[in-house]
Amino acid sequence: MTQVEFLDAARGHDGGYEVDASRGVRIGRVSSEWFSRPADERYLSLSELFAAVHGRTEHSRTRTVESAAIRVEASRDDSEKFALLLPGSDAPIAPTHWSFGQLASFVGAPATYLRQLPAPLAGINLQYGLSAHRAEQIKTLETDDSRIELRAVTGPDYGRIFDHEPVSAVQRIAGNGTGDTRWKVPGVLDWSTGIYNPNVDVTQEKTTLYASDRDVFLFLVDDLYPIEAGRLPDGSPDLFFRAFYCWNSEVGAKTLGIASFYLRAVCQNRNLWASKISKRSRSAIPNMQHRASRMRRRRR
């Protein structure tokens, strides 16, 4: 049977493929991303995703500073105003929710508790921790894009991979991720018919390309060219498709990683039915929290 004859035999109604999802293992990793991402974290193409994450990198800088030289600025007249003065900067910089937690962890303070305090009290506690802590170098990631923000605080040896780098690497094989190459945003399984339709429009509801202020995540499949794994009881081809998802965080929330597998089907809410997943992650270079933990153990 030629490839064309095989594809014609495998296709179900409306150009979709008959699949047996029950033969796969349910994987909820992509569904959890789909469920939790708000509209402003969803992108309709790899080009759009790349432009967003690369744009913030162009407005960012990293540098190494002494932790004891950081000054906390909080106003008694504004219980919400909180900023940091970093060495070598004249203007105060606002920490993000994430970087505030990293900085609190560095000095051994409970971030959740500090966030509940008025800014002046939180500032006093954090300033004491920075001043009393043994002098240590930290690496900052600062962004100046209409508002100056401190996005990350890590150890000086932290090896940062910017979010646009894995997106750019995926673009080399997947183009725009919308069908201009074999790799694309996946289709949808119709449970009523058992037909997997790879030809669906990419919308905010269906996309699997995500990015937030602290990470990037994308899921793509090669679902126009199925692979025959054998035969179903009725004699029709048992199909699966190549698929992978990858993730990264340039602010230290997670390491770079990729998971590849054979996909049998993916439904509207992005639950997957697939074969066993093969995962690869980049080993984390010691970050600030690990260094602080080691320092505390040595002081004991």
DSSP string, 153-184: EE-TT-----THHHHHHHHHHHTTSBSSSS-B
Taking 50 as the threshold, does the pLDDT of residue 4 lie above it? no
Query: What does CATH list as the number for 60-158+287-299?
Result: 2.40.50
CB of 33 closer than 8 Å to CB of 210: yes
Percent residues over pLDDT 90 in the chain: 59
Cβ within 8 Å of residue 288, ≥6 positions away: 102, 105, 106, 138, 139, 153, 154, 155, 158, 252
Q: Express each pLDDT in 123-174 by its tens digit.
A: 999 999 888 877 688 899 999 877 789 999 998 888 899 999 999 999 999 9
Taking 70 as the threshold, does the pLDDT of residue 6 lie above it? no
Q: Residue 256: phi, psi to the nearest 5? A: -65, 135
CB of 244 closer than 8 Å to CB of 220: yes
Strand pairing report for 272-274 and 257-266: antiparallel
pLDDT of residue 282: 63
Q: Of 61, 75, 63, 122, which Cα lies nearest the Cα of 97?
A: 122
Taking 50 as the threshold, does the pLDDT of residue 299 lie above it? no
Q: How confident is the model at residue 297 (pLDDT cuts 50, 70, 90)?
A: very low
* Pair of tokens at residue 260: 């590849």
Cβ within 8 Å of residue 255, ≥6 positions away: 248, 249, 281, 282, 283, 284
Q: Give CA–CA dist 203/221, Å, rounded.
A: 16
**pTM given for the model:** 0.84
Any idea where the domains of the chain sit in the sequence? Answer: 3-55+161-281, 60-158+287-299
